[in-house]
């Protein structure tokens, strides 16, 4: 019998949907190569120095269907994969596992950040769906951001020294090429902007 953690979302997210904070169609600072990035909404940790405080609330922000996100990601021929960031991706693990399986079926790779450790995600008290999502991942970056352990180096793929990179797909072993201090500015048709890449996080301007 499992004792998985209860989902902290105050309102159930409709089946087949994700509650997201943001989406970027092409990024080169959130994982290997060119990839889409999904920032999910909701995180319980409240890490001091978090660059993405707007992601903490579990209230509904933007509901997007798994199907429409998969189409967006796969419609861009430059994308080699997708990265899940947050917020905490593993509080929506089951829906992300479904999305990941569609992306992988098309030959792309899937990476996720998480504030949990891999051991916590493999334990019986992991969030619901954690194992299903782990089975889909090519790369996992684990561990919450710890301000006192911050690495402010242009060459580091992690933001604080407690974080670990688990490469489950050997084909990506030599592609740990992104750096947490690089940034990108995305300007959308409606004039809104997203800055991403710094500490693997996102902010709206
Ligand atoms: S740094 Fe990451 S794990 Fe920590 S509060 Fe911010 S979003 Fe959550």
Q: What is the pLDDT of residues 145-154, one digit of tens each?
A: 999 999 987 7
Query: Is the peptide bond prior to 87 cis by the omega test (within 30 degrees of 0)?
Result: yes
CB 141 within 8 A of CB 163: yes
pLDDT-based confidence at residue 200 (cuts at 50, 70, 90): very low
47 lines ligand 1 (CB under 6 A): yes
Residue 43 Cβ contacting ligand 1 at under 6 Å? yes
Distance from Cα 38 to the centre of ligand 1, integer Å: 15
The pLDDT tens digits of the residues spanning 84-132 come to 998 999 999 999 999 999 999 999 999 999 999 999 999 999 999 999 9
> What are the backbone dihedrals phi and psi of residue 18, each rounded to the nearest 5 degrees, phi first?
-120, 145
- What percent of the chain stands above pLDDT 70? 85
Q: Determine the atom of ligand 1 nearest the C-alpha atom of 87.
A: 7
Task: Note the pLDDT of residue 11.
Answer: 77
Which structural domains are found in the chain, ordered by start? 17-204 (3.20.20.70)
Report DSSP state, residue 179. Answer: -
Our answer on whether the CB atom of 42 is closer than 6 Å to any ligand 1 atom is no
Atom of ligand 1 nearest to the CA of 53: 6
Supply the pLDDT for residue 40: 96
Whether ligand 1 lies within 6 angstroms of the CB of 86 is answered as: yes
Rounded CA gap, 192 and 204, in Å? 8
pLDDT above 90 for 170: yes
* Ligand 1 centroid distance, CA of 115 (Å): 6
106 C-alpha to ligand 1 centroid (Å)? 30
62-66, 167-171, 192-196, range with the lowest pLDDT? 192-196
- Residues 167, 110, 83, 89: is their CA dihedral positive or negative? negative
Average pLDDT over residues 15-25: 95
Atom of ligand 1 nearest to the CA of 115: 3
- Compute φ and ψ for 194, nearest 5 degrees: -125, 130
């Amino acid at each position: 019998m499992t004792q998985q953690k209860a989902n902290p979302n105050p309102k159930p997210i409709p089946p087949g949907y994700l509650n997201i904070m943001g989406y970027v169609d092409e990024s080169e600072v959130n994982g290997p190569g060119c990839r889409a990035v999904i920032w999910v909404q909701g995180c319980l940790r409240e890490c001091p120095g978090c660059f993405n405080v707007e992601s903490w609330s579990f209230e509904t922000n933007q509901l997007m269907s798994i199907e429409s996100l998969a189409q967006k990601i796969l419609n861009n021929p430059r994308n080699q994969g997708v990265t899940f960031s947050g917020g905490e991706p593993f509080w929506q693990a089951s829906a992300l596992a479904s999305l990941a399986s569609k992306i992988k079926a098309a030959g792309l790779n899937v990476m996720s950040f998480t504030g949990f450790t891999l051991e916590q995600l493999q334990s019986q008290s992991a969030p619901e769906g954690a194992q299903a999502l782990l089975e889909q991942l090519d790369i996992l970056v684990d561990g919450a951001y710890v301000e006192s352990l911050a690495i402010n180096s242009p060459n580091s793929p992690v933001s604080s020294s407690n974080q670990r990179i688990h490469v489950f797909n050997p084909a990506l072993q030599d592609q740990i090429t992104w750096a947490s201090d690089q940034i990108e500015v995305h300007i959308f048709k409606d004039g809104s902007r997203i800055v991403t890449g710094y500490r693997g996080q996102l902010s709206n301007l």
